[in-house]
């Protein structure tokens, strides 16, 4: 892979990048409509693909939090048209690496030694990008290690990056500035946490310890003594990413096993730990040669406070939805229905959110669920499509916790769908005995 | 007091505590139980001490990076980056002196006298890198310009040291970014670019494309 020659890091430079993309996207629309003049049957697919390619090129040159946003957008398959998703998915794998001397520099800064002094072997060319850092292969005492190194200045640039992403998200997702504000703050908080490698290594150790009892899930060992504010050292996990794995035509049995491991991993965290690995994109998982699920990134953790957990999971996992008054009460505490909504609005949002929760809860409704079936996902997408066209949904609705909880669960559903797995969904069940 | 290093540290201690140069070599030598003659065996003047401190730091940075196992695998661009990272790290240990020294030498046009030794050292290092880069094809060989590449790198030296002097970020992380970006830009300009191809194409068309002006040789 070609090494990137420069990273635009100052705000003006970065803005310029975004402006350029804006122009290009604008140009794509002109191209599309002029073509359409001569060929009325032209669908928007080509336009979407053009746009996605340009935005992706621009974002991957930016690195850091912008790339993170690209990854995040690509998670929401139910919001974005397919062409966007295919391009954005690229950002989940590779982005261009930084210069060798800067890696040596980072090591001497935090350990007073060069990587070759510390490790028996250290590959100065990175194997893949980790959105705010890059991963290098190393070995020590015969053990193969993965060393994750963070780019300098990432934390500083996150806020200014997000400010510039806003108009894009606005255009892409058709959300209003005001609506974005609530969520952008939440995203900013999570992203800033992600730049804190000391926190990440602490959590990685905690979570891999807490989750070690789950079947068919493996974690690398972490080495705090070889880690610092900008460096994380862990065991190198052998394995394939989901796409490569699927290309090997795995048996249904194996796919179900991996899918079950994924399901258990997420639901154990949500319901037993009340804090969840909120970055379910395929780049964070490996399928090991032994047919187990390897989990390699705990940068993004979403903690679920009680005032979110109880109303939300009571809706999905009890018969609360049958009781209209209690349902509306729960919608109110989740700010899906607002205090100043009038009777007609209450009825409207009650109906639509009920539909959403019913869809979301469908896998929980029986003891097993076949994620390979497309009907469920078609329903999800068409629901997303439907509400995205409704003017009522142009304003902010729902507490900020939804953004990561939805991302986590829909991300999980999507991965299970990609796996084509049939899983038992009654393994870890929500604890909602406490009355709301 | 019998080595150049000891005189250097006594001098650094003096200027940083007093905020100014000693009144004379006589006073400085006497304070340190030296004769003037002994002083002059090592240095010709106070500026000579400062120059030797700078040159020493620069030389140390060079030796350090050249001894790194990975050095031989680096491209010219990476060698330059590695040198600057090492230099900035070393400067950190003498930051107060460096700031004092830069301030004393003032905003003169051209190279301050205390940096003359550094400049010689750096330029011979840079010339070597440019030769290596041209040979490997990493840098474009441009008539008249190739010999100026090392001057452009010397300008980067000034920019980076001054940036670092003003940097107040934790761990001088901003300086790391300034180095990464600055050196990359410089080497991008040195590399083959569309302009080279354009120039080459223009020359070709002038000679062969029927656009040849009516000139007699």
Highest mean pLDDT among A254-258, B35-39, B183-187, B204-208: A254-258
Q: Is the Cβ pair A102, B174 closer than 8 Å?
A: no
Task: Number of A to B CB contacts under 8 A, please give it.
Answer: 61
Q: Is the Cβ pair B180, A100 closer than 8 Å?
A: no
Residues A212-245 have pLDDT tens digits of 899 999 999 999 999 998 899 999 999 998 888 9
Both structure tokens of A53 = 């390619």
185-214 of B, contacting A, C-beta below 8 A: 185, 187-188
End-to-end CA distance of chain A: 54
pLDDT at A105 over 60: yes
Q: How far is B177 from chain A (nearest CA, A)?
A: 7
Which of A9, A102, A153 is the closest to B81 by Cβ? Answer: A102
Which of residues A178 and B144 earns the better pLDDT score? B144
Residues A398-428 have pLDDT tens digits of 777 887 787 788 778 888 988 999 999 988 8
Which of B79, B82, B173 is the closest to A153 by Cβ? Answer: B173
Q: What is the DSSP string of A110-176?
A: HHSS-HHHHSSEE-SS-SEE-SSEEEEEEEETTEEEEEEEEPTTHHHHHHHHHHHHHHHHHHHH---
* Strand pairing report for A301-303 and A275-277: antiparallel
Q: What is the DSSP string of A60-128?
A: HHH-HHHHHHHHHHHH-TTTS-HHHHHHHHHTTT--PPPPHHHHHHHHHHHHSS-HHHHSSEE-SS-SE
- Percent of chain A whose predicted confidence (pLDDT) is above 90: 28
Which of residues B176 and A406 earns the better pLDDT score? B176
> A153: which chain B residues are within 8 Å (Cβ-Cβ)?
173-174, 176-177
Q: How far is A225 from chain B (nearest CA, A)?
A: 20
Q: Is the Cβ pair B81, A98 closer than 8 Å?
A: no
Lowest mean pLDDT, pick from A64-68, A149-153, A191-195, A381-385:
A64-68
pLDDT at A435 over 90: no
> B82: which chain A residues are within 8 Å (Cβ-Cβ)?
100-101, 104-105
Lowest mean pLDDT, pick from A146-155, B115-124, B154-163:
A146-155
Q: How far is B121 from chain A (nearest CA, A)?
A: 21
pLDDT of the residue at A50: 56
End-to-end CA distance of chain B: 72
Residues A323-378 have pLDDT tens digits of 899 999 999 998 888 888 889 989 998 998 888 888 888 888 889 999 998 888 88
B180 touches chain A (CB under 8 A): yes
pLDDT of the residue at A167: 66
pLDDT of the residue at A127: 79
Q: Coil, strand or helix: which one is A240?
A: strand
Give the alpha-carbon dihedral of A316, A320, A326, A328, to 10 degrees: 40
Residue A240 falls in which region: left (phi positive, over 0), alpha (psi -120 to 50) or beta: beta
Cα–Cα distance measured from residue A282 to residue A418, given in angstroms and rounded to the nearest whole number: 10
pLDDT at A63 over 50: no
Residues B135-149 have pLDDT tens digits of 988 888 887 888 889
Q: Coil, strand or helix: which one is A301?
A: strand
Q: Is A335 exposed, middle or buried (0-12, 13-18, 19+ CB in 10 A)?
A: middle
> B187: which chain A residues are within 8 Å (Cβ-Cβ)?
5
Cα–Cα distance measured from residue A366 to residue A426, given in angstroms and rounded to the nearest whole number: 8
| pTM for this model (two decimals) | 0.70
Cα–Cα distance measured from residue B131 to residue B141, given in angstroms and rounded to the nearest whole number: 9
Which of A108, A116, A152 is the closest to B70 by Cβ? Answer: A116
Q: Check: CB of residue B119 under 8 Å from CB of residue B155.
A: no
Reported as a pLDDT band with limits 50, 70 and 90, residue A162 is low
pLDDT at A8 over 50: no
Q: How far is B168 from chain A (nearest CA, A)?
A: 13
Give me the mean pLDDT over the B179-206 stretch.
Answer: 84
Which of residues A95 and A322 earns the better pLDDT score? A322
pLDDT at A30 over 70: no
pLDDT of the residue at B120: 93
Reported as a pLDDT band with limits 50, 70 and 90, residue A159 is low
pLDDT of the residue at A70: 45
Q: Is the Cβ pair B184, A9 closer than 8 Å?
A: no
DSSP-derived secondary structure letter, A218: E
Both structure tokens of A349 = 């949002």
Q: Is the Cβ pair A101, B82 closer than 8 Å?
A: yes
Reported as a pLDDT band with limits 50, 70 and 90, residue B17 is very high
* pLDDT, chain A, mean: 76
Q: Is the Cβ pair B85, A105 closer than 8 Å?
A: yes
Q: Is the Cβ pair B184, A109 closer than 8 Å?
A: no
Reference A408, options A360, A373, A348, A336; nearest CA is A360
Residues of A with CB under 8 A from a CB of B: 5-7, 9, 98-102, 104-105, 108-109, 114, 116, 124, 152-153
Q: Is B167 exposed, middle or buried (0-12, 13-18, 19+ CB in 10 A)?
A: middle
Reported as a pLDDT band with limits 50, 70 and 90, residue B212 is low
pLDDT at A17 over 50: no
Q: Coil, strand or helix: which one is A306?
A: helix
pLDDT of the residue at A199: 93
Reported as a pLDDT band with limits 50, 70 and 90, residue B109 is low
* Strand pairing report for A217-218 and A293-295: parallel
Who contacts A382 (Cβ-Cβ below 8 Å, separation ≥6)? Answer: none
pLDDT of the residue at A169: 58
pLDDT of the residue at A424: 93
pLDDT of the residue at A222: 95
Cα–Cα distance measured from residue A138 to residue A246, given in angstroms and rounded to the nearest whole number: 28
């Amino acid at each position: 892979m070609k090494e990137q020659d420069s990273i635009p890091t100052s705000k003006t430079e970065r803005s310029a990048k975004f402006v350029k993309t804006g122009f290009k996207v604008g140009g794509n629309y002109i191209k599309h409509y002029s073509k359409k003049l001569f060929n009325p049957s032209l669908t928007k697919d080509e336009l979407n693909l053009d746009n996605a390619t340009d935005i992706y090129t621009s974002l991957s040159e930016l690195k850091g939090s912008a790339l993170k946003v690209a990854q995040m957008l690509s998670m929401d398959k139910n919001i974005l048209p397919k062409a966007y998703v295919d391009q954005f998915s690229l950002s989940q794998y590779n982005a261009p690496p930084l210069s060798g001397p800067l890696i040596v520099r980072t090591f001497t800064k935090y350990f007073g030694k060069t990587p070759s002094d510390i490790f028996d072997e250290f590959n100065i060319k990175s194997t893949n990008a980790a959105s705010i850092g890059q991963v290098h292969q190393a070995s020590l005492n015969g053990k193969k290690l993965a060393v994750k190194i963070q780019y300098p200045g990432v934390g500083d640039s996150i806020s200014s990056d997000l400010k510039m992403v806003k108009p894009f998200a606005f255009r892409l997702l058709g959300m209003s500035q005001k609506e974005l504000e609530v969520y952008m703050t939440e995203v900013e908080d999570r992203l800033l946490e992600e730049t804190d490698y000391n926190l990440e290594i602490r959590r990685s150790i905690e979570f891999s310890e807490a989750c070690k009892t789950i079947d068919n899930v493996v974690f690398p060992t972490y080495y705090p003594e070889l880690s610092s504010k900008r460096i994380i050292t862990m065991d190198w996990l052998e394995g394939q990413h989901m796409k490569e794995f699927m290309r090997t035509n795995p048996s249904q049995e194996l796919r179900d096993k991996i899918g079950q491991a994924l399901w258990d991993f997420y639901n154990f965290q949500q319901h037993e730990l009340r804090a969840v690995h909120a970055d379910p994109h395929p780049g964070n998982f490996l399928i090991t040669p032994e047919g187990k699920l390897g989990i390699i990134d705990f940068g993004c953790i979403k903690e679920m406070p009680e005032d979110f957990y109880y109303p939300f999971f009571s809706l999905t996992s009890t018969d609360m939805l049958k009781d209209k008054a209690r349902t509306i009460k729960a919608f109110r505490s989740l700010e899906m229905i607002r205090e100043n909504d009038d009777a007609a609005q209450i009825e409207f949002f009650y109906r639509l959110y009920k539909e959403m929760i019913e869809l979301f809860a469908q896998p929980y409704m029986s003891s097993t669920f076949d994620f390979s079936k497309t009907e469920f996902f078609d329903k999800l997408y068409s629901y997303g499509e439907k509400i995205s066209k409704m003017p009522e949904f142009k304003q902010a609705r729902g507490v900020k916790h939804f953004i990561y909880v939805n991302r986590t669960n829909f991300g999980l559903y999507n991965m299970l769908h990609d796996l084509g797995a049939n899983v038992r969904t009654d393994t870890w069940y929500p604890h909602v005995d406490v009355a709301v | 007091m019998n080595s150049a290093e000891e005189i250097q540290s006594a001098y650094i201690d003096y200027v940083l505590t007093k905020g100014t140069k000693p009144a004379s070599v006589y006073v400085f030598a006497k304070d340190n139980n030296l004769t003037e003659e002994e002083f002059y065996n090592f240095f010709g003047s106070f500026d000579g001490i400062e120059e030797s401190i700078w040159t020493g730091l620069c030389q140390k940075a060079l030796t350090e990076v050249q001894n790194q196992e990975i050095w031989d695998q680096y491209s010219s661009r990476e060698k330059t980056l590695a040198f600057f990272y090492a230099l900035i790290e070393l400067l950190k240990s003498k930051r107060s002196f460096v700031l004092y020294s830069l301030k004393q030498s003032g905003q003169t046009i051209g190279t301050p006298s205390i940096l003359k030794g550094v400049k010689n050292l750096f330029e011979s290092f840079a010339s070597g890198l440019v030769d290596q880069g041209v040979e490997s094809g990493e840098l474009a060989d441009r008539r008249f310009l190739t010999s100026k590449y090392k001057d452009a790198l010397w300008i980067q030296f000034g920019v980076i040291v001054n940036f670092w002097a003003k940097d107040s970020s934790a761990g001088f992380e901003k300086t790391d970014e300034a180095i990464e970006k600055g050196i990359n830009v410089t080497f991008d300009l040195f590399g083959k670019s569309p302009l080279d191809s354009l120039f080459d194409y223009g020359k070709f068309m002038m000679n062969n494309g029927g656009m040849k002006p009516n000139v007699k040789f």
